[in-house]
Chains A and B, each alone.
Chain A
């Protein structure tokens, strides 16, 4: 998994609430049994002029030249709500998004981000709006820096916003950790628990 330590990049505002995973990657864009090939379908319903088409909708923020190469999204609360599809995160990652800054996230989506090297940053709405306002005059030059070590977002004008993140999530992102591998190191403990659970609740194991 890709590590996340410090990232500086163009931040694009998508300032609406409840951006759902159907919007991030419509089901019709999930064409292969694969984690790859999804970047083109990112935000397809908003990004292209017609369903299934590839003609860019000029008004959509990621298509505007001033936001080209955006690697940070600024959005409203409950970003990534809805369907559990991890394809939403795979699509964001493949497009080049490294971090999303929003007041809150859909819980499954947030976990999916952390398992795929994308940093979900929780900042209050006023801070997100302020970042978007600072970026707006010249997004290519007015870039945003996110430092996971320091747990802070640095605005183009130098305002610093601290953010919280669970230390396990932080470690996973900083080290690009393989969680299955680290859990399997506890296999003895899991097996001992399982034997004991089987004694207590034998019916759970008899299918």
Chain B
């Protein structure tokens, strides 16, 4: 097995991940653990509230409150005219206790109707809080999204969030390195969402276990920053420790002038450093995967795990005879729960709901992609369609472009920013047995409500399916 970070010539070459890791390694502990310095902590009202309360009840102090941020996204209602009241049972308590704890702790809170509020992984990049070369953690599994800007960002538990706030460090086992190179050019209306769904379907949800994954290659370079966030977002569904992408001029241009981006003389120094953040040409990875993007098609999930996905023109698979018992049980339960038959064409599946939103696909480019398909058309009758912008800033920008009008004219609800119906917390959900096509990241049993059948897809595929009233290929609606 190759040892990452070394060459036969003896001079050390490094992967991007190793550069970020060594830049933040305070100490090596026993057994492959390191004490890693944490630059930024982000919280939300669902899991951050518990961490703040627990810290304060144990009398611990937050070392650097100016580098701790919190946004209201998980529980807050997304209905127009919202306040602290939510449909989530006891949701108001989470919101109010987060507000109070944030004030006491002196951390920056993006409150329910603040102009900067939104989903953590949408807000953090658009405010320039996450930056290339920084370490950022959040008690939220989709924190890996933020590696898209060349940061070392990963999801943690609440106890680790307390540790990070109290010590500015975490004890972490150094993951192995993997590079996934996406070659070629994506066909029209095939997106970053289709790339990541394809990768997980081909290499399974366990494919990235134990790895920090660098996404690279022509097709990744061609993605804008927002699409890169989508690609990295579902690294956790691939079981990766996290994902990251080397920052390029697109990232630097994206960050210039953002609220928390470096200013003044610091900007040039930071940008110069960011330009050095890439894997060395001869750096070696513990594992390499290559994907040809030129043949990719829109993907959609058919089961209850993100790996149970295929091209939207495809069929529900017929199980192999030689499967292990736990696998065939899982497969049978997935068919049953999703009410699909082996061999059934996905495009035959009629839908009841369509959802565009979440930390995966709720940014302005996602909304534009969906709106381009919806413009001048109508959602099929009987389909409940909802669009939830990822942040107040996305919402403002969309409204300035008139996208809200496109969505509402087509029959979509237009909501306030938040995680919304990506997951069911006892408040809003689609009804039991309903089939929903969703631009989100998890199609687990009950994720969007008890008995709800979720099909993951890109915003374009969700929009096309909403129009067709069944799972549909967005290319059927090419302008």
Contact = CB atoms under 8 A, between A and B. Distances in A.
Given A16-B333, A180-B167, A51 B450 contact: yes
Interface stretch (A26-34, A91-99, A155-163): A26-34
B193 interface: no
Contact of A33 (B27, B97, B163): B97
A17 B327 contact: yes
B169 A168 contact: no
B37 A194 contact: yes
Interface in A75-106: 76-78, 81-87, 89, 104, 106
A23 B37 contact: no
A64 interface: no
Contact of B33 (A81, A82, A166, A207): A166
Contacts of A206: 262-263, 266
B36 to A, nearest CB: 10
Interface in B399-445: 423-426, 432, 442, 444-445
B169 A22 contact: no
Interface in A149-207: 166-168, 179-180, 183-184, 186-187, 189-190, 193-194, 197, 200-207
B426 A52 contact: yes
B381 interface: no
Given A33-B49, A203-B266, A78 B205 contact: yes
A205 B263 CA distance: 12
A186 B134 CA distance: 22
Interface stretch (A2-10, A111-119, A139-147): A111-119
A108 B262 contact: no
A107 B241 contact: yes
Contact of B167 (A166, A184, A197): A184
Contacts of B241: 107
Chain B interface size range: 35 or more
Interface string B38-72: 01000000110110011000001000001100000
A27 B425 contact: yes
A104 B208 CA distance: 12
Contacts of A129: 325-326
Interface in B128-176: 129, 131, 133-134, 139-141, 155-160, 162-163, 166-169, 171, 173
B31 interface: yes
A15 interface: yes
A193 B426 contact: no
Interface residues of A, number: 63
Nearest to A112: B157
B239 A84 contact: no
B424 A26 contact: yes
A69 interface: no
Contacts, number: 197
Interface in B257-315: 260, 262-263, 266-267, 269-270, 273, 305
Contacts of B139: 84, 86
B47 A86 contact: yes
Contact of B205 (A33, A34, A81): A81
Given A27-B426, A183-B169, A184-B166, A111 B444 contact: no
A18 B94 CA distance: 29
B325 A45 contact: no
A125 interface: yes
B157 A168 contact: no
B141 to A, nearest CB: 4
B157 A31 contact: no
Contacts of A78: 205-206, 209, 239
Given A81-B239, A108-B156, 8 more contacts: A17-B327, A18-B330, A27-B423, A27-B425, A183-B35, A189-B35, A190-B26, A202-B269
Interface of B: 23-24, 26-27, 29-33, 35, 37, 39, 46-47, 49-50, 53-54, 60, 66-67, 88-90, 93-94, 97-98, 129, 131, 133-134, 139-141, 155-160, 162-163, 166-169, 171, 173, 205-206, 209-210, 236-237, 239, 241, 260, 262-263, 266-267, 269-270, 273, 305, 324-327, 329-330, 333, 423-426, 432, 442, 444-447, 450-451
16 contacts: A17-B326, A26-B424, A26-B446, A28-B88, A33-B50, A33-B94, A33-B97, A45-B446, A83-B423, A111-B160, A180-B166, A183-B35, A190-B35, A197-B24, A201-B273, A204-B134
Q: Which 3 A-B pairs have the closest CB atoms?
A: A28-B426, A203-B262, A51-B450
